[in-house]
Amino acid sequence: MKESDSPIPPSGAAEQRAVTELAMRRCVAARLRFWAVVVGLPLFLVVAYQARQLSKLRHELETLRAESLRIGQEVEIYNPSWGTVIDAVDPQRIPSRDARDPRFGALVQQFMPRGNAAQVWQLRLPSTPAGEDTPLPERTYIKHAFSFVNARDFNRAIQSFEYCLKFYPDAAAAHSGLGVALRDKGDFPQALGSHDRAIELEPENPQFRWERAVTRLRGGDTDEAIQDCEKATQLNPDFADAHNTMGIAWRQKRKFVEALTHHDHALELNPQREDFWRERAATHQANGDTQKSAADAARARQIREGRN
């Protein structure tokens, strides 16, 4: 038998098949890796995103459970503007208006809704007990004190402002408010000390300058009152109250031209102020112009009675 008729292939053909098989395996492996990336990576990202969203949802649900209020659960009715909670069930503090049962008829406040912050309440979980000296926000004390000023209960107003300053000794608004309360009580020297401290803390506040001007004017110091009003109008040229007070001060000095200039400016800035018309009427009267005085007084009455 010849050598060419042997069924055993030559060594070169076997090597060729091995190379081809190896190349096919590499091609298949490369394609598998490609499709693993094309299909597997987006799938991995989707799964990771879903896991993240699930974790976020679980956290939000736990937060909601912690903050939610449920029927039968104790709550506080909290006023964020005043920093207070409703306490209307203690008849020792708020007596009932119902003679039959102390739990009925306790009236805390009753106002027409005006949409202001003082009438906004929130339900929240009961707060933890605070120490006796834990202060409320500064603005809460000041608003409380001015409620006594508006009610002309000056002794309580002074106590409230002083209590605020116990916690906030550098509260300029509290020093200014204390000056107002002392002034309205008639204690001008003490009032000026409080005004001075407020201006020392906030020298660029025109309101504080004007309040001190009013106190100085009531105490008979017209020159110093004019200086404070001039400074207030420098800080705020449209400060109508300061112009009106300056008009009163110039009237007391019998300088009617200067007085009427400031009265006119105050009324240009705020023509709906009844007291501005009344004060200009007094200045016209002091200047001997009874006709203009009567016209201004009539306008003041119209505004007071609600007619335009």
Q: pLDDT, tens digit, for every residue of 66-106? A: 667 666 667 778 877 777 777 655 666 666 666 555 556 66
Q: Which amino acid is at 71?
A: I
pLDDT given at position 141:
86
The Cα 24–Cα 260 span in angstroms is 107
**Phi/psi of residue 79, each to 5°?**
-105, 105
Main-chain dihedrals φ then ψ at residue 78, nearest 5 degrees: -110, 135
Question: Would the CA dihedral through 219, 224, 230, 234 be positive or negative?
Answer: negative
* pLDDT of amino acid 54: 86
Per-residue pLDDT band for 1 (boundaries 50, 70, 90) equals very low
Q: How far apart are CA 97 and CA 193, in angstroms?
A: 44
Q: Using alpha carbons, select from 291, 270, 219, 278 the residue that is nearest to residue 249.
A: 219
Residue with tokens 């490609």: 34
Tokens representing 63? 């937060």
Listed range (15-24, 148-157, 174-183) with the worst mean pLDDT? 15-24
> Which of these, 286, 229, 281, lies nearest to 256 by C-alpha position?
286
Do 161 and 144 touch, CB atoms closer than 8 A? no
User: What span, in angstroms and rounded, lies between the C-alpha atoms of 194 and 177?
Assistant: 8
Q: How many residues does the chain have?
A: 308
**Higher per-residue pLDDT: 33 or 131:** 33
Q: Which domains does the chain have, with CATH numbers?
A: 138-203 (1.25.40.10), 223-308 (1.25.40.10)
Long-range CB contacts (within 8 A, 24+) of 144-152:
144/82, 145/174, 145/177, 145/181, 146/177, 148/181, 149/177, 149/180, 149/181, 149/184, 152/184
pLDDT: is 54 or 243 the higher one?
Answer: 243
Which residue's entry shows tokens 């504080």? 208
Residue 249 confidence (pLDDT) above 90: yes
Residue pLDDT, tens place only, 164-201: 999 999 999 999 999 999 999 999 999 999 999 999 99
What share of the chain in percent tops pLDDT 90?
47
Q: Which pair of tokens denotes residue 165?
A: 């300053």
Residue by residue, what is the 3-state secondary structure of the chain?
CCHHHCCCCCHHHHHHHHHHHHHHHHHHHHHHHHHHHHHHHHHHHHHHHHHHHHHHHHHHHHHHHHHCCCCCCCCEEEECCCCEECCCCCCCCCCCCCCCCCCCCCCCCCCCCCCCHHHCCEEECCCCCCCCCCCCCHHHHHHHHHHHHHCCCHHHHHHHHHHHHHHCCCCHHHHHHHHHHHHHHCCHHHHHHHHHHHHHHCCCCHHHHHHHHHHHHHCCCHHHHHHHHHHHHHHCCCCHHHHHHHHHHHHHCCCHHHHHHHHHHHHHHCCCCHHHHHHHHHHHHHCCCHHHHHHHHHHHHHHHCCCC
- Both tokens assigned to 206: 């025109």
Band of the pLDDT at 39, cuts 50, 70, 90? confident
